[in-house]
Amino acid sequence: MHEVAAAAGALPVRWDELWRRAGDDALDAIVVLGAPGCLGPSADSPGDVRFLTGWTPPFGPSAVVLRRDLRPVVLAIGPHDARGFRARLGDAAEVRQVAGPGVLADSVAGLLEASRTGGEGSAGVTGGAGVTGVAGLSELPAALADALRGALGEPRPVDGHLHALRVRHYADFTYRATAVAAISDAMVERVFAEAAARPCSGAELMILAEQVGRSLGAETAGCWIATGPAPSTTYFEQRELREVLADGDRLQIGTTVRYEGFYGQSLRMAVMGRPPALLEEHARRLVAVQDEIAALMRPGVPLADVAARMAELVGEACPYPAGEDPFRFQFCHGLGLSYSEPAMRAISGAGQADPAFADAVLADGMVVEVHPNYSVPDLGHVCAGDMAQVTPAGAVWLTSSARGLVRLGTAPG
């Protein structure tokens, strides 16, 4: 059952806080636009809409329109998206079904015009400014964004205010992190068990992982898989994973799971048969790097300091110079209503964060994906990844499947 009663109490608090943070008297309306939820790993606006409504549509854009002294309006494309919002919002907001992106843009324009002229029960613009705060515009398809710009006039961006509020209310969502971690663990464990039991291709294992994740309640449950004696990259398409695993092959997997809007991930390495000594050595180093970073992650520690130390540790472990490693990218990212929570991006490395959050510090309860990854000659890429939750004594691991290098035994057949 959806927690409609809880949402009805919690969401208006967030709406009021957004008004206060965004400038209150300077704005007559706030429009929060959301890209489809399926873009969540590369977009922040789906998480913004979920933060304000308790849900976001998986395949269509949406909008939340807040107007002074009026009931919030949520615009949803089609009956399925409208039903999804109503199930979470109850009577806390009005949900209006629209026929498509063009009508959504027209509806936003109509609501803003009514607010400015005193229509739909509005008293009109009390401050006379007629300024609209807007979030998510840059993540919409170009045609929809262009259609909205005329109605929005010269909007004031409020994305940063929303991202700050998401961190302020982070504790409202972290109970979901444990469920996400358990789903990710189950996906990994089932894949390794199946690979040890019978001849499998990477494609078969990818399908199995995703099936397990969805069966346990994940909204989305995807993965990459890498196979072969020295995997050079990660594969997301089944057509690239047709070969059956053989003795000496590696099986590496990275899950990405979303459960009730909260993202989680884990990365694991396994080998069919006896592993080479060099692989065992780097597997141990990866775990040691993770553990050192977890010990550093305490409330008040700057996220940028964690990123810098992680870069140092990976630099010490990786034989390639930083600019020449073919498999070396962000080593940590904050988990939340985005795959990489926008106000926590300083933990992903220099230049990743919005300047407004460049000096952000860790807080108790924050969840960070800690995944050092790099390449080794003759081994290909190596990796480890776990969800870590910040505590005053250092971070604790939420993911619990076997860490390090998992030995699956001699490949069947």
Q: Which domains does the chain have, with CATH numbers?
A: 4-168 (3.40.350.10), 171-407 (3.90.230.10)
* Mean local confidence (pLDDT), 385-402: 98
SS3 136: coil
Nearest CA among 168, 82, 68, 178 for reference residue 115: 68
SS3 218: coil
Q: Which of the residue ranges 112-116, 176-180, 251-255, 313-317 would you say has the lowest mean pLDDT?
A: 112-116
SS3 219: coil
**pTM of full prediction above 0.85:** yes
| Contact (Cβ atoms closer than 8 angstroms) between residue 182 and residue 42 | no
Backbone angles phi, psi at 317, to 5 degrees: -85, -30
Whether the predicted pLDDT of 125 surpasses 50: no
* Mean local confidence (pLDDT), 277-293: 98
SS3 31: strand
Q: In terms of C-beta density within 10 A (0-12 exposed, 13-18 middle, 19 or more buried), how is residue 69 classed?
A: exposed
253 bridge partner residues: 225, 268
DSSP result, 252-308:
EEEEEEEETTEEEEEEEEEESSSPPHHHHHHHHHHHHHHHHHHHH--TT-BHHHHHH
Q: How many CB atoms lie under 10 A from the CB of residue 276?
A: 14
Instruction: Report the amino acid identity of residue 303.
Output: L
End-to-end CA gap in the chain: 47
| Contact (Cβ atoms closer than 8 angstroms) between residue 303 and residue 297 | no
SS3 235: strand
For the ranges 184-198, 233-247, 319-333, the one whose mean pLDDT is highest: 184-198
Whether the predicted pLDDT of 117 surpasses 90: no
| Contact (Cβ atoms closer than 8 angstroms) between residue 27 and residue 156 | yes
Mean pLDDT of the chain: 92
| Contact (Cβ atoms closer than 8 angstroms) between residue 371 and residue 314 | no
Report DSSP state, residue 100: S
Measured between alpha carbons, how far is 155 from 53 in angstroms, rounded to an integer? 22
Whether the predicted pLDDT of 358 surpasses 60: yes
268 bridge partner residues: 253
Whether the predicted pLDDT of 413 surpasses 80: no
Whether the predicted pLDDT of 220 surpasses 70: yes
HSE-up of residue 373 (Cα within 13 Å, Cβ side) = 28
Whether the predicted pLDDT of 292 surpasses 50: yes
Measured between alpha carbons, how far is 84 from 261 in angstroms, rounded to an integer? 13
pLDDT band for position 150 (50/70/90)?
Answer: confident
User: Tell me: the pLDDT tens digits for 268-283?
Assistant: 999 999 999 999 999 9
pLDDT score, position 235: 82
User: Tell me: the pLDDT tens digits for 33-88?
Assistant: 999 999 978 999 999 999 999 999 999 999 999 998 899 999 999 999 999 999 99
Q: What percent of the chain stands above pLDDT 90?
A: 81
Residue with tokens 């109850």: 90
Q: In terms of C-beta density within 10 A (0-12 exposed, 13-18 middle, 19 or more buried), how is residue 9 classed?
A: exposed
pLDDT band for position 121 (50/70/90)?
Answer: low
Report DSSP state, residue 361: B
Residue with tokens 């961006």: 157
| Encoded tokens for 22 | 């965004």
Q: In terms of C-beta density within 10 A (0-12 exposed, 13-18 middle, 19 or more buried), how is residue 329 classed?
A: exposed
Nearest CA among 30, 26, 28, 24 for reference residue 125: 28
Q: Which long-range contacts (CB under 8 A, 24 or more apart) does 75-79 make?
A: 75/104, 75/107, 75/108, 77/101, 77/104
